[in-house]
Structure 1
Amino acid sequence: MGGYGSFNQYNWVHVPVGTGTPRTGGTCNDSNRPVIFIAPGNLLVNSLPSLYGNLIENMVSNGYIVVYSNYAGKSPDPAYNKIFTGFQYAASTLNANSGYRMDLSNIGVWGHSFGAGAIPWLAQQVATTGWGSNSMWFALNATSYVYLNGSLPQTGTITMPSNAHVQIVAYNDDSVVDQGWAFDVFNSISTPASQKHIIQIEPDGTYKAEHTLPSGNNSNINYMTYYGVYKNYQAVADCARFGTNCATSVLKDMGQFSGRPAPLAATPALVDELPLQEIYHSGGPTGPKCDVPPDTGKPVRTC
C-alpha cells in the first residue's frame, strides 16, 4: 500500500505469488504479470479495497496484479484525476518498489458505479501513457454519469483508444443509477462494434441483479457473482489479449446450478440488445447451491 496526494488518498497493490499456474498463463510468481486497475464506486469516501475483496481475490487468483485507487469526494472534478494519479503512482513508484512486476503492456481498467462513469476520461489519460500496447480493455459496471470536457452528462462522441476492447454491464434490478446511462455510453464511444459489448444481467428467481452485485464479501457471493461479474471481466480480458472468449454466447451464458432438479440453465444475460428488455425467470433456485464455472470464476485460488 502506498499513499499519495492529500485527503488520505491511498493505493493498494495486490500481487499473485506462489508456483500455481493461473488461467492467464505462466506462473503466479512470474517476474511480469498483467495488470488490472480498479476505479471503485463511491459507496463511502475513501473506499477500502475490502469492499471489493472477493473480486480482487478472484483477479489475483487468475494471475493479475491488481491496483486499487481510492479517492475523496463525489465530484468528477477532482475525483477522476485523483483516481488516475493513483494509477500513475502505482505504475511508477509502487511498481519500482515491487521489482517492476507490472506488465504495463497488458492492462485493463475495471470500474463500478462512479468509477465506471470515470472510465471514458480515464481511458483518454491511459492513451497518453504508452500502457496497453499489447492489450487494453475497459469494463464499466453499473455505470453512473460520465463527465467529459465540462459536460455533465456527457454528450457527443466519446473518443476511446483505438485498440481498446470495451465491455459495459448493466444490472436489471439496479435502483441506484439509470441503466440508460450505460446504453448512452455504449452508443457514444468511438470503439468499433467488433470491440465492444453491452450486457444486461437479469434477475433469476430469488437472486437479484442489483447495483451492488460487483462489490461485497463472502456473505453475499453466489452464482450471479461468478457469472455476472467475474466471468465477464475475464472474457473481455481474454478477448483483448488472446482473441478468445469474444463470442456473444460466452457473455450470455449464466451457467447452470444444482439448486434446480435438472439442473436448469440460469436466465441468460442480454447482450447487445436494444432497447432494454425485462425478462424474469420463474422457478428460481431453492438455495445457494451453485455449480462453479468450468474454467472461469473459480473460487479456489491458484495464485
Structure 2
Amino acid sequence: MFDAIPLDDMSLGYEQRGEIVYQVETIENSHWARVPITVLHPDDGGRHPVIFFAHGYGGHNWKTAYFDLIDDLASHGYVVVFVPFQTASTSRLMYATLWDGFTDAVDAFGAVMDLDRVGFVGHSFGGGATPYMAYKGLVEQGWGGVASYVYTSAPWYSWDTPDDKLESLPPETVFVASIYEDDTINDHRMAIDLYENTTLPEENKLFLEVNSVQVGRRTARATHFTPGLSPDLTLKASGVFAPLNAINQAVFEDNYQARDFLFNEYYDSDVLDRVPSPVVEVPESRFRFKWSNQRLNDRL
C-alpha cells in the first residue's frame, strides 16, 4: 500500500476515508445462492442516499476485489448495495442478477434507504451495465427524484442500452465516465460512446481520465484494475475515491463547493484530467476488448 499523492487541489479532503460507522448485512442472492448480496449502511437507524454498485467480470467478492472502494463509500454515510453475479461469457443473466439483486435489497432494506437520492456506480463489465441499471432505476422505478448520478468506470460493452434509453435519463442526473491511461483491457471508445450519447445538459456531464504518474523512482500506473484489485492507494485515493466523494457531496448534499471542485478545478490535477471533448489516441489493437467487436458490442 502507498499513501495518496499530496496535491494542492486535494486540500478539501475528498480523497480521505470518512468516519461513519456502518453495518454490513447480507441477504440471499436469488440468482446465485452461494454468494449473497451485501448491503452496507450507517449504524444510526436513519435513511441515507443509496449507491448501487456493479462489479467487474470475476469481481464478485467485494472484500477482495473492491474493499478499499466499497469501504470508502460506506464510510461517508451512504448505503452501498453490492450484488455478485456469476460470470458467463455472453449471458444476459448477469444483468438480470444485478437488477433483481438491487430490487431485492430495496425490498429488504428500504427502511434505511433514501431512494430519492441514488447513484449507480460500475466498473468494467459493471461499468457497461450501469447505464442500463440507471435507466431501470431512474426512469422505470422513479428513484432519484431529488438527486441522481451515473458513474461508469472503464466500461465493457453495454448491452440492451440503445440511444433512446441514454436519452431518457432525467435531465438533472449527473453522468460521469472515467477511463485509465494505461488500460489495455477495455477500449476507451466504449466510455466515450456512452458519454457522447447521453443527452444530458453539458453542465451535468463529466469525462475523466486517470493518468499514470511518477512517484519517486516508481511509476503509479493507471491500469484497468485501479478501482479494484490494484493495491496501490496512490491512484485509488486521488483518481477514484476523490471524484466519487466529490460527486456524492455535490449531488446528494447539494454542495456547491464540491461541484465547483469537480467540474471546474479537478482538471488541474496531475492524476486526473477533465476532458471536455474526449477522443481515442491509441489504436484498437492495444485493447483486449475492442469497440469494433460485432458479436459483443450491442451499440455498434
TM-score by length of structure 1 reads 0.74
Once the two structures are superposed, residues 249-288 of structure 1 have per-residue CA deviations (whole angstroms, 9 ceiling, x without a partner) of 343254xxxxxxxxxxx3542432432468xxxxxxxxxx
Q: Of residues 193, 201, 206 in structure 1, which corresponds to 2:202?
A: 193
In 1, are the aligned partners of 2:157 and 2:190 still within 8 Å (CA)? yes
Residue 37 of structure 1 aligns with which residue? 52
Give the unaligned 5+ runs of structure 2.
1-25, 283-300
Residue 38 of structure 2 aligns with which residue? 12
How far residue 67 of structure 1 moved from its aligned partner, in angstroms, is: 0.7
Residue 180 of structure 1 aligns with which residue? 189
1:49, 1:157 → 2: CA distance? 29
- Helix, strand or coil at the partner of 2:42: coil
Q: Would you say 1:209 and 2:213 are equivalent positions?
A: no
- Helix, strand or coil at the partner of 1:197: strand
Q: How does 1:69-218 map to 2 (within 5 A)?
A: 69-74=83-88, 75=90, 77-93=92-108, 95=109, 100-126=111-137, 127-148=139-160, 158-159=166-167, 160-205=169-214, 206-216=219-229
Quote the sequence identity (%): 23
Residue 70 of structure 2 aligns with which residue? 56
In 1, are the aligned partners of 2:179 and 2:191 still within 8 Å (CA)? yes
2:133, 2:99 → 1: CA distance? 7
How far residue 155 of structure 1 moved from its aligned partner, in angstroms, is: 6.3
Once the two structures are superposed, residues 111-148 of structure 1 have per-residue CA deviations (whole angstroms, 9 ceiling, x without a partner) of 00000100121111102222111111111011111112
Give the length in aligned residue pairs. 244
1:179, 1:144 → 2: CA distance? 9
Q: 1:122 and 1:76, CA in 2 relative to 1: closer, same or farther beyond 3 A?
A: farther
Higher helix share: 2
Residue 294 of structure 1 aligns with which residue? none
Residue 285 of structure 2 aligns with which residue? none
1:182, 1:76 → 2: CA distance? 21
2:268, 2:41 → 1: CA distance? 29
Give the unaligned 5+ runs of structure 1.
18-28, 255-265, 279-303
Superposition RMSD in Å: 2.1
Once the two structures are superposed, residues 44-78 of structure 1 have per-residue CA deviations (whole angstroms, 9 ceiling, x without a partner) of 5xx11111101111111111111101112333512
1:191, 1:53 → 2: CA distance? 32
The runs of at least 4 aligned residues of structure 1 exceeding 4 Å deviation read 154-157
- Helix, strand or coil at the partner of 1:158: helix
Q: 1:275 and 1:53, CA in 2 relative to 1: closer, same or farther beyond 3 A?
A: same
In 2, are the aligned partners of 1:199 and 1:251 still within 8 Å (CA)? no
How far residue 164 of structure 1 moved from its aligned partner, in angstroms, is: 1.3
TM-score by length of structure 2 reads 0.75
